[in-house]
Structure 1
């Protein structure tokens, strides 16, 4: 019997050597990053519960349940890393094939539904409701659950739990990648939807879309790298577990640093009125111009296609004023003050006698 590597006890099974092997410390390094990711994810989840009452923007509050589910998925990814550090056996095999795609599908589905509501907000439309966002996220991820259950049950033939350890390496890796086709579709769809969040007039929401865009960009790069390395036959089989566990840890930290951390910074930000369309915009007067009448003045709406009003032109109906407005008219009556005039007295010709006497 071979002696255990440096750092491992003599009574420890060889299945767990990667957890403590000091001669090949990749397992120790990855489990340290995974453990730190678990602690960070739990801290974010607790902070989310504490800050929920301090969020002023109702549209940010609608995404909180989905982001909490997202953190549960990230927490699961860090925990799943230990199943890849431990050697493949009858217990870790089904766990790997089932949870890898399910957890990533849950995370990408949460990001996808967030882009749906951002695409509406950035265009000034009514966003999705809280239950709709959460329901869509769980619904999208449920498809991968069904695919993974069918594959694991059919492959294990209900009884042979050690089939994954006995499977040839080439077939094992090809089946692992083929099982994730739906997750690859979710990744591509989420990346495209994140681009649509940059098209709109309300720029305040574009920053949230940028978080998802950067997250998906790094995630796609990680997935392309580990799939290429996993299917690269010249590599030794011992590297398979290292590649997959590294991909889990790297993508988990991308989720935390590129998406969760920036979202938490904006979580309690005060609601900005410029991020929303003005209500009753049609009733609000615009392009108002002053015109003076003879006794009063009214605010008349200036049409964009018309030039300045000519003098003497008739006034039109203006909002926020009476329907009957005074107009400039030329005076046709004489309102001057009359002055006294002298008249002859009727007694000027009176001589004090009657005619004929």
Structure 2
């Protein structure tokens, strides 16, 4: 052993102790010493954005669960079958909203290999489920506002599953390709994450455009449901435009990427989830439980007047009504529809005279000449003379 190195041993031991102390991560204020570093955003009191979003997402989860129970409870009391037919789609929509609030925690927790797959796969799939439900509801409303009859429940469910399955396939293909390329590692950047959601953006745009056509139609009460979807999609598009711009350009230009990437995505999830509840689910609960008003829409079982007329014309329709109401007009002396000013007929219509078997009557022997010219009166006169 070199005796010249003995004075430097305490310094080396001190430096090695400092290195070990620096390697250990000090837990922030509010977090326990045994907590893993990836969960620090859930309890860091010095960086409260995680705690705030965690609380808002938890309230959203509880509210969504309550709404699911309420929807299932009021379903037997919905009198209108056409409103009840949309309940299964709305249940799927609430399940998708519940998943969106739950996904917020995956973005509050720091990125690792476990949360990476959850983020990449579930973001697009959950939003595809929600927007597919809204699109199926819009399709139903487009038929209800025009004919008063909508598609069957099985057709709506098939549409929702088909549209959501497309995003599932896209997400699986992306994860498989990136895993093969980077050696079973989940890696993504903001631009790739945005490009992965192009199909969801297409569903949003299609639902928003079709929701505007629900305002046209003779069955007015269904337009309220179309207004709910229109407002929901308007706010959702605004939220998506903001978070995409911030994620792709804003955070980079402000030199806050990647520090602000997770808060941006978390805020977008929580905001969009509450938009679904406030502007779509709660108003829908109010309208599906209200009884239908007669003045909101024309009678659904009544045949329109122009279909009665058809190729018969106005005159033929008058005779048709006269034949069906002859016995009422004759017994109660009610004027015939021919006397109505709505039809171009003669107003001097006289009800037909009833003929019966002639009876002997005592009448004077004087008969004016004009009366004898009537064969019926001549026959009546002959009977009375005998």
Which category of TM-score, normalised to the shorter sequence, fits these structures?
Answer: 0.7 to 0.9
* Contact 1:91–1:161 (Cα < 8 Å) also in 2: no
* Contact 1:89–1:162 (Cα < 8 Å) also in 2: no
1:321 equivalent in structure 2: none
2:265 equivalent in structure 1: 244
2:344 equivalent in structure 1: 307
1:192 aligns with 2:192: no
- CA–CA separation in structure 2 for the residues paired with 1:11 and 1:27: 19
The alpha carbon displacement at 1:104 in A equals 0.1
* Contact 2:338–2:346 (Cα < 8 Å) also in 1: no
* Contact 2:339–2:346 (Cα < 8 Å) also in 1: no
1:163 equivalent in structure 2: 186
2:237 equivalent in structure 1: 220
- 1:76 aligned to which of 86, 95, 99: 99
The 5-angstrom pairing of residues 137-152 of structure 1 reads 137-152=160-175
* Contact 2:132–2:163 (Cα < 8 Å) also in 1: yes
What is the TM-score with the length of structure 1 in the denominator? 0.81
1:29 equivalent in structure 2: 52
The alpha carbon displacement at 1:310 in A equals 4.5
1:177 aligns with 2:190: no
* Contact 1:203–1:275 (Cα < 8 Å) also in 2: yes
The structure that is helix-richer by fraction is 2
1:331 equivalent in structure 2: none
CA-based RMSD of the aligned residues comes to 3.0
Alignment CA distance shift 1:270-1:295 (3 Å):
closer
1:118 equivalent in structure 2: 141
Aligned with 2:336: secondary structure? strand
- CA–CA separation in structure 1 for the residues paired with 2:126 and 2:344: 64
Q: Which structure is higher in RCO with an 8 Å CA cutoff and minimum separation 6?
A: 1
The alpha carbon displacement at 1:268 in A equals 1.4
Structure 2, unpaired ranges of 5+: 1-23, 310-316, 355-360, 367-386
The alpha carbon displacement at 1:14 in A equals 1.4
Count of residues in Structure 1 that have an aligned counterpart in Structure 2: 318
The alpha carbon displacement at 1:220 in A equals 0.3
The alpha carbon displacement at 1:306 in A equals 4.9
Q: Deviations over 1:212-260 (max 9, x none)?
A: 0110000000000000000012241110000001000000000011100
- CA–CA separation in structure 1 for the residues paired with 2:184 and 2:116: 8
- CA–CA separation in structure 2 for the residues paired with 1:327 and 1:37: 80
2:124 equivalent in structure 1: 101
The alpha carbon displacement at 1:85 in A equals 0.4
- CA–CA separation in structure 1 for the residues paired with 2:332 and 2:248: 89
The alpha carbon displacement at 1:163 in A equals 3.4
